[in-house]
Amino acid sequence: MNNDKQSQLRWLFFFVMTGIVFQYNVTAGTGPCDIYASANTPCVAAYSTVRALYGNYSGNLYQVRRISDNATKNITPLSAGGAANAAAQDAFCSGKSSCTISIIYDQTGNGNNLTKAPGGSEIYGSEDDIEAVADSLPVYINGNKAYGVHVTPGSCWTCGGQVGYRTTTSKGIATGDSPETTYMVTDGTYYNGSCCFDFGNALMTPTAGANGSMDAIYFGSCDWWDTGAGDGPWIMADLESGVYNMDGVAKANNSKDISLPYPFVTAMLKSNSNGATTGGPFTIKGGNAKSGSLQTMWDGARPTNYAVMHKGGGVVLGIGGDNSSTAKGNFYEGVLTSGYATTATDNAIQANIVAARYGETTTVILSSSSTTSSSSVESSSSTVYSSSVQGSSSSSAIAEIAYSVANIPGTIQAENYNIGGEGVSYHDTETGNSGSLYRTDNVDIDTVTVGGYTLGWLVAGEWTEYTVNSTTAGTLAFHARVASGGDGGAFHLELDGSPITSSISVPNTGSYTTYQTIDGEVSGLIPSSHMLRIVIDSSYFNIDWIQFGDANVSIGSVQNFRTMEIREYQVFDLDGKYLGMVTASDYLDIRSALRKKFPQPGVYIVRYRLRGKTTQNLVVNSK
């Protein structure tokens, strides 16, 4: 490996460890399989419908089949080592749900291509599987639109309709007790508790083999064998006849196997030979594919009766070894290697995935230069790398960074607009923050009487922008908390530069401190990371927050809150999910109790009953 590539890998690892990796992208020439090759654990099967997994790969990523005439087209990267050419798919398919993914190509050159899986077990998956709808999982990766593989389940074990893929040939894939490493990027918001959304090593035939004939990553909340912390989804291993996350017998609970509800999740499984001294032999790791490092869920002995593996050497995606057909999940990329990778290699792979910028609608370019500047990073080989940002939100070279990433469904606090400055993350018509509160730029921020902050002094033409992760497609209800001392205020919402609402009128609520919740509907959502913009159409009102989706708990008027008694309060998030109980008296005491019980600052709904009859809900900002 040359000095430039060594330098790139060193800095890639540095960026992810220091938490600034989101500002940098992997240069062409460094893909996950390049990293594995440099560590002497080469990829033997590599799949992605989203990007090339080698820095110099320009071959086929996947094939789409047009339903109307059965014609097919191979989809390649936009450039060597780059994102998939989704525009080529869109042009060929020319209509929603008009194509399926017929082949997912093996990028290693070994020919271990994935195609529609045949029927298997008469009990658990007797029908042939179907191909994934090609445009059902749109995603952005470093500003480029692409499509993942959307695995939908069968409605029963023998009903058919399950999306699933399997290899029909095998070259280079581990068999028997040979060591291997497997990872995939999946989705922690789309899963279920059934069996089995798998990716990895399995028998070549769709049958339930002996213990250890599979060595595949399972992702979901299935609790038939082992379980993890919380409600899932968890990373576990389908070893055939059982899904496990630690040693011992089935039905164990591994508290280190944390739930990973992120839109993009890195899941990793490493299998060493029995008796090997280089690690494992059974290792599970995982983490957020957009930031941070991997967490080790298990590193030790295999479960009882699985000490020696009997890997089949085939590959499955979306199904169990016997074609078990009632699980669901999303798949973006994944590989199988020859050999048990080192911890340093694991970390470099995670850094590469984070730097790929899943879900990001802006493009960050890592360019090389011979000139040093204050915004550049200099490596030990004297090559200088600087970052720039391209995207619909701004033509400026200043990076736009999320102040607090929000979710759809979920709630956006209006004062938590992105960092970036005038013309990048916001536009304000006057200099200075009129309220002199919370933020130090030119956006005008005021307080609300129940605690927290609001956008105020809003003038037509102003806007603020927010990084959001949507897990919803199509239309969705929303609610906005607003206040106005007069008539005529209005705003609309945009997603990635396109309107998703009409102009929304703000009523006269009686004063700028009296808030009212108004309702509306957004359209055109797709599951991915986006830039949401609040655009002011007519002047003079306040916006406290916008909630996407209907909460199960209604939000009552704070003016009904009257108590000095110490009592127990039920606590919910703004999506209506019950979180627990706190004991407190007045409003400030509740805020203090929330901070102690829930260290993550946020907005909560607190419910209590007056004299056992009237239920009241209070919105509390714990910041």
Q: What are phi and psi of 613, to 5 degrees?
A: -120, -65
3-state secondary structure of 44: strand
Q: Report which of 346, 322, 371 is spatially closest to residue 129, judged by C-alpha positions.
A: 322
Residue 496 CA to residue 494 CA, distance in Å, equals 6
Helix, strand, coil percentages in the chain from 3-state DSSP, rounded to 5: 10, 40, 50
Residue 581 CA to residue 372 CA, distance in Å, equals 55
**Range 193-220 burial, b when 16+ CB lie within 10 A, else e:** ebbbbbbbbbbeebebbebbbbbbbbbb
Determine which helix (DSSP H) or strand (DSSP E) holds 490, and give its type and residue range: strand 490-495
Cβ burial, residue 521 (10 Å; 0-12/13-18/19+): exposed
Structure tokens at 489: 């205020």
**Range 76-86 burial, b when 16+ CB lie within 10 A, else e:** bbbebbbbbbb
If you count them, how many residues does the chain have?
A: 623
Residue 390 CA to residue 456 CA, distance in Å, equals 30
End-to-end CA distance of the chain: 49
For residue 183, list its beta bridge partners. Answer: 268, 335
Residue 111 CA to residue 86 CA, distance in Å, equals 23
Structure tokens at 429: 């018509």
Question: Parallel, antiparallel, or unpaired for β 511-525 and 474-484?
Answer: antiparallel
Strand ranges in 53-133 using DSSP code E only, listed in sequence order: 62-66, 72-75, 99-104, 114-116
Q: Report which of 460, 459, 353, 303 is spatially closest to residue 26, judged by C-alpha positions.
A: 353
Catalytic: 415? no
8 A C-beta contact, residue 50 and residue 146 = yes
Tokens 């002199």 belong to which residue? 436
Catalytic: 322? yes
Determine which helix (DSSP H) or strand (DSSP E) holds 7, and give its type and residue range: helix 3-18
8 A C-beta contact, residue 184 and residue 334 = yes
Catalytic residue among 129, 135, 257, 322: 322
User: How far is the CA of 584 from the CAs of 90, 556, 579, 587, 588, in angstroms?
Assistant: 56, 19, 16, 8, 9
3-state secondary structure of 316: strand
Tokens 């899963």 belong to which residue? 191
Angular region, 611: left φ>0, alpha ψ -120 to 50, beta rest: left
Catalytic residue among 240, 415, 544, 573: 240
Question: What residues are labeled active site?
Answer: 240, 322
